[in-house]
A and B are shown apart, each in its own frame.
Chain A
Amino acid sequence: MTELLGNLSRDRVFYLLVAPFAALTILLGIWPILLSIQVSFTASATALRPNPTYVGFANYLAVLSDSIFLASLWRTLLYTVLSVIANLAFALGFAILLDSTLLKRGNLFFRLAIFLPVITPDVAGYVVWRWLYDRSFGALNAALELLGLPAFGGLSSVDTALLSILIAELWHHAGFYMIIFLANLSIRDRALEEAAQIDGATTWQRWRYVILPQLRPALVINTVYALIQFLKTFTVVVVMTKGGPNDQTNFVSYYAYQLFDQARYGEATAMATILFAIVIGLSLTAYRIGDREPGR
């Protein structure tokens, strides 16, 4: 105890400086999450009153027996897997291209071009994508018509809506992941590659066994970040499809939001809590797997 007090006293300046940020984190970060979890245990009709009626796990049971929620959860997971793979593969491929000697001329232009969508306000970007996909005046179908190709169903077809928003999100996010990969590529130990080359390793072997292991930090951080990002997919749905057509893009975040609109606060926050648990669980798992030392 005396030792603890001694440490506190010794580090008092540190704790003093950290205190405001810790308080802000608790107030603006943790407190709303706890409140939301609390609401998930209340009856919706009384959820926002000073003395709500607590209903135990009734909202969770209702949500888990709701076939629309289960379908939207499955859809969210599928979309997340597809998006994480597509975004990381595209970003890694583009980063490798920019890091190579193939794109020496215009390198800065391409870096800017791929990163600009990241800093473009997402709503504005998705509105433009919605127009591009529009079946009556969109540029995409106009181009396909010029080429004599069949029309693309875009956002209004149940077969293509998911793919359409995946492409729009790829455009918006891939630049961010690419920058992380590019930063990691620029600090790798090139001497190892030279040594491997001298030892007779092929280009593929150099990539597989020398460069890729060095990209592990970028892969881990990008995977975790992308998992969080796509599990929570919301804005693109609000702007482009509103969950349609026929629920094909109705992800958990948007479905919970729809329930808020029907004043079903208890079930909506139960859904949000389930999603929160999945995000935390998957992110920590991905981080643990990525953080393991090779060979262990």
Chain B
Amino acid sequence: MGILRIIACATFAAAVSTLPAKAQQLTVWHDLGDNGIKWFEALSAEFAKQKPGVTVRSQSFPTDQWFGRVISALNTDTAPDLIFNNYERVIRIQNQTNKVMDLKELTGKISDKAFLSADDMRVATFKGRQIIIPIQRVQMAFGLRKSWLEKNGGKFPDTWEEVKTLAAAFRDNDPDGNGKADTFGLALQAAKPRDLIHMLDLFMFGSGLRHTLIDPEGKITIDQPAHAQVLEEFLKTYSSYKFVSPDTINHSFAEMYQVIEGGRGGMFRVGDWNVRKWDGAQVLNGDFVSGPWPKFAADRPNAVVIGGMRGVAVPENSPNKALAQEFAAFMLSKAAQQASLENIGAGVRKDLDVSKLSPRSQYFAKAEHRLVAYDFPESIHAFYPELEAAFHRKLLSGIANPPADWKAFIAETAKEMRDLATKLKG
């Protein structure tokens, strides 16, 4: 009997010794789709090398649903361990919940972070709190159909006048050679406030200006001469110049992508996240080239635009708060950033191996061009979304019924925006 007891105890001890340490799981909610899920799987495997037994499970939601889920989860103490999204979206979460952790202290403890610029840290901070750790710069360049460009001299346009010449050629000279007049100079969008103002932002910031509609002091900028010049040309692009599809007034992101990927638009926005898909044989097959946005004045340098910053945030009521912070810090490590570059096409470090990327992806990964970041007015002016919606409505009325005098239209718009901003501030 005694021998049996010893055998039983030994068997039990052996079984216990083979069990792993207590397993722990972190949950991340994001909106990056399949690429994001693959990225977090890679991160999970890498993090487990430092923290055996810890797994990271990511869940991707469509952006609209992500907002609702995160806000209600944070407000009802059923939060995930981490959330991942664009800075301006995390601002909205913080506004609605007041439960996004200040990560300043955590970031201070990270030694390997010299690659984060002052601009990066500025777009991570909202009302004095660092609400995200910046993980991926969202770069947006000006792109052209390479084969169409080659048929028209092959020189990447540097100035707005050169862009206009090319746009007319792409529209009129049948660059795809199908014998039909079915191509356009540019592929843009206009339907929703963010659609149109986002496009305008790219031309403004890309041409070296700092604020599209309102500056940090609350002054409306659209009728300042340099701004008014870009705005007028931008509005004419949608109307009298006829450089875009006539249906663009109703186009949002999906329709804009149909024009680009359907081979009908000659010039367009290229986001770093677009490159992987557009390199695909069934899409653009790499037939595009990227560069900085066009110059509107010789003395103002042009640039590629940092249109956003994706980052990781930790809810105050994260179930595994300490471990979640460790993982958030880990996302800046070289291994994690390499996985980010390979799966999403973006990162913040500059010491990553880019040799496996296509030349078009390398353009963004090396970030050798001049970069200019958005000003994120929503982080300063709480009323900005409402002001932007009114601005959008006014611009659309101009595009739908083009005025004889755009300068007068811009002056009138500026006055209306000033009146509205004053009212909203009050």
Contacts and interface: CB of A to CB of B under 8 A. Distances in A.
B25 interface: no
Contacts of B72: 48
Interface string B237-257: 000000001111110100000
Interface in A223-264: 240-247, 258, 261-264
A137 B182 contact: yes
B188 to A, nearest CB: 14
A30 to B, nearest CB: 20
A296 interface: no
Given A136-B245, A262-B385, A49 B75 contact: yes
Contacts of B71: 48
Contact of A242 (B96, B192, B393): B192
A16 B167 CA distance: 71
A18 B396 CA distance: 53
B245 A245 contact: no
The secondary-structure label for the interface of chain B is helix
A243 B191 CA distance: 8
A45 interface: yes
A118 interface: no
Contact of A49 (B92, B96, B182, B397): B96
B332 to A, nearest CB: 30
Given A136-B182, A246-B396, A247-B393, A263 B245 contact: no
Given A45-B95, A45-B96, A258-B389, A246 B401 contact: yes
A193 interface: no
B76 interface: yes
Contacts of A48: 71-72, 75, 96-97
A47 to B, nearest CB: 8
A121 interface: no
A137 B397 CA distance: 25
A137 B258 CA distance: 12
Given A48-B71, A262-B385, A262-B386, A245 B250 contact: yes
B400 interface: yes
Contacts of B75: 48-50
Contacts of A77: none
B182 A244 contact: no
Nearest to A49: B75
A246 B389 CA distance: 12
A158 B182 contact: no
Contacts of B399: 245-246
Contacts of A241: 191, 250
Chief secondary structure at chain A's binding surface: loop
A98 to B, nearest CB: 36
A50 B76 contact: yes
Contacts of B98: 49
Interface size range on B against A: 20 to 34
A136 B75 CA distance: 48
Given A49-B75, A245-B396, A135 B247 contact: yes
Interface in B36-95: 71-72, 75-76, 92, 95
Nearest to B382: A45
Given A137-B182, A245-B400, A156 B96 contact: no
Contacts of A136: 182, 184, 245-247, 264
A245 B249 contact: yes
Contacts of A68: 393
Interface in A62-85: 68
Interface centre among A45, A49, A245 (most CB of B within 10 A): A245
A244 B401 contact: no
A68 B386 CA distance: 13
Nearest to B262: A137
B95 A263 contact: yes
A155 interface: yes
Contacts of A243: 191
B63 to A, nearest CB: 10
B157 to A, nearest CB: 23
Contacts of A240: 250
Contacts of B393: 68, 247
A137 B265 CA distance: 13
B70 to A, nearest CB: 10
A48 to B, nearest CB: 5
- Most chain A beta-carbon contacts within 10 A, residue among B182, B192, B247, B400: B247
B250 A242 contact: yes
Interface string A16-46: 0000000000000000000000000000010
List 7 tightest A-B contacts by C-beta distance, closest first.
Answer: A246-B400, A242-B191, A135-B246, A262-B385, A245-B249, A156-B247, A245-B400
Interface of A: 45, 47-50, 68, 134-137, 154-156, 158, 240-247, 258, 261-264
25 contacts: A45-B382, A49-B96, A50-B76, A68-B393, A134-B245, A136-B246, A136-B264, A137-B182, A137-B264, A154-B247, A156-B247, A241-B191, A241-B250, A243-B191, A245-B250, A245-B396, A246-B396, A246-B399, A247-B393, A261-B192, A262-B385, A262-B386, A262-B389, A263-B92, A264-B386
Given A134-B245, A264-B385, 12 more contacts: A49-B97, A68-B393, A136-B264, A154-B247, A155-B247, A158-B401, A245-B399, A246-B399, A246-B401, A247-B393, A258-B389, A262-B389
